[in-house]
A = this chain, B = another copy of it.
Amino acid sequence: MGETRKRIAIDMDEVMADTLGKMLECYNRDYSDTLTIEHLHGKKLRHVAKCGGEVSKYFDDPLFLRDLKVLPDSREVIRELQGRYEIFIASAAMEVPASFAAKYEWLKEHFDFIPSTHIVFCGDKSIINADYLIDDHAYQFERFRGQGILYTACHNVEETRYPRVNNWREVAEMFLK
């Protein structure tokens, strides 16, 4: 059965987990700023933050990723997808080695129906053998062997090379109709 079902690999940050929401919250608190998602259209937080690239320091805290909010409908839709596809979670966790444990625990808490065998922490996602990859980073699609599906995030709104989904309802529309 696993051999015949198509395979979908799904990114975590900004696709399943509201990483940016927590970044904004921490940044606004620490720098007395009032940035919102709307300020980030087409940009990354580090391009508009008072502290520039230093915002990435939040990732140094091993617990930063532990209490991220689950993005709307992701749990329900992924569970439904699992009925028809083989689902793998593929996170570029190697960028932030301190985050391995927190990422794994977050998945176990919120997506306990994904078996550990189907969780992948990697860097370059061209190593992923799947038919589809749902990700907010278009550069991950360039060498990916399957079809990249761009999940909308502030930083990728100008990208036009790939099919796009704006939310999990649209993922359901694309894969479950």
User: How far is B122's CA from A90's CA once the two chains are assembled, in angstroms?
Assistant: 9
**A88-B127, A127-B128, A143-B3 known; A119 and B122 CB under 8 Å?**
yes
Any B CB within 8 A of the CB of A101 = yes
Copies of this chain, how many? 2
Residues of B within 8 A of A7 (CB): 127
Contact check: which of B9, B100, B118, B130 meets A123 at CB < 8 Å? B118
Tier of interface size on chain A: 20 to 34
Contact B121 A117 (CB under 8 A): no
Contact A127 B124 (CB under 8 A): no
A residues with a Cβ closer than 8 A to B are: 2-3, 7, 9, 88, 90, 93-95, 97-98, 100-101, 104, 115-124, 126-130, 143, 145
A118-B124, A120-B122, A120-B127 are known; give 19 further A-B pairs, CB within 8 A: A9-B127, A88-B127, A90-B127, A93-B121, A95-B116, A97-B100, A100-B100, A100-B104, A101-B101, A117-B123, A117-B124, A118-B123, A119-B122, A119-B123, A120-B120, A120-B121, A120-B123, A121-B121, A127-B130
